[in-house]
Amino acid sequence: MTELEYLSVEKENEIAIVAIDRQGKLNALNYKMLQELEGVFTDLSQDENLRGVILIGRGNKSFVAGADIEELADLNRQSGRSQSGEGQRVFTLIENFRTPVLAAVNGYALGGGCELALACHLRVASKNAKFGFPEVGLGIIPGFGGTVRLSRVVGFGRAIEMILTGNMITADRAEHFGLVSAVFEPDELLSRSKDFLGSITRHSPQAIQKAIQSLYFAQDSRAIESFIMENDLFGQLTGTEDMKEGVGAFLEKRKPVFKGV
């Protein structure tokens, strides 16, 4: 495994714990982190003894607090579409991973962070977790598969509310929505996540793998077309005046004034 800047991997028996560590930026997702996620999950896929993966953010403030806004500010239509496609591809790699992947969400899981959690097969959260899709406030939409996976997990009505309002929801509300399976105390999140995943990995690994494949096949009849649509629409929005205004307002800590251009 190549040297990692933003991720670490620990093995405990048949479980891998992948930790995101960019705490100075609230574990914000950038292109380098996407590349590292791809490399880590590609390497882990070669481990025949692996029975499951826990994905967690270092620190108690954030799982992943969205995309790196400064990196986002430099996107235009072409690069925006390219970055969206890359994020979709890496997150689909995680979704198609042969063992269960559990997102243990501590703190913020916003935008790309929520999309990353949704790409995992299962999600649990600490009581201080917050979930949301603030992209519309930046003049864009979720671009890493969020418009597809969120409605699949919580239903269309709740998905369109979360994405159009940009409001955050608490861990308890996320559990009510079906976005997470359980909520734990922050200092117990990792240990309880291991127990939760262990209740799955004690079963036949072949049966678990085939069950995941069958469940996702039933959901994915139009997923490819939906990802293509999301990618195209994300690209159309990157580089617009509204996107520049939204990102600029965020960086300048002021309210955006959108003009629809």
- Beta carbons within 10 angstroms of residue 35's beta carbon: 15
- Rounded Cα gap, residues 207 and 213, in angstroms: 10
- Rounded Cα gap, residues 55 and 115, in angstroms: 13
**Rg, C-alpha atoms of the chain:** 18
- Rounded Cα gap, residues 202 and 46, in angstroms: 20
Q: Write down the catalytic residue from 135, 161, 188, 252.
A: 135
DSSP annotation of 35 reads H
Phi first, then psi, for residue 236 (nearest 5°) are: -65, -30
Q: Write down the catalytic residue from 10, 36, 38, 115.
A: 115
Q: Which two tokens stand for residue 183?
A: 């909520």
Active site residue 135: yes
Phi first, then psi, for residue 123 (nearest 5°) are: -140, 135
56 and 189 Cβ atoms separated by less than 8 Å? yes
| Cβ contacts of 164 within 8 Å, gap of 6 or more | 136
Active site residue 71: no
Query: How many Å separate Cα 63 from the centre of its chain?
Result: 9
What positions carry a catalytic annotation? 115, 135
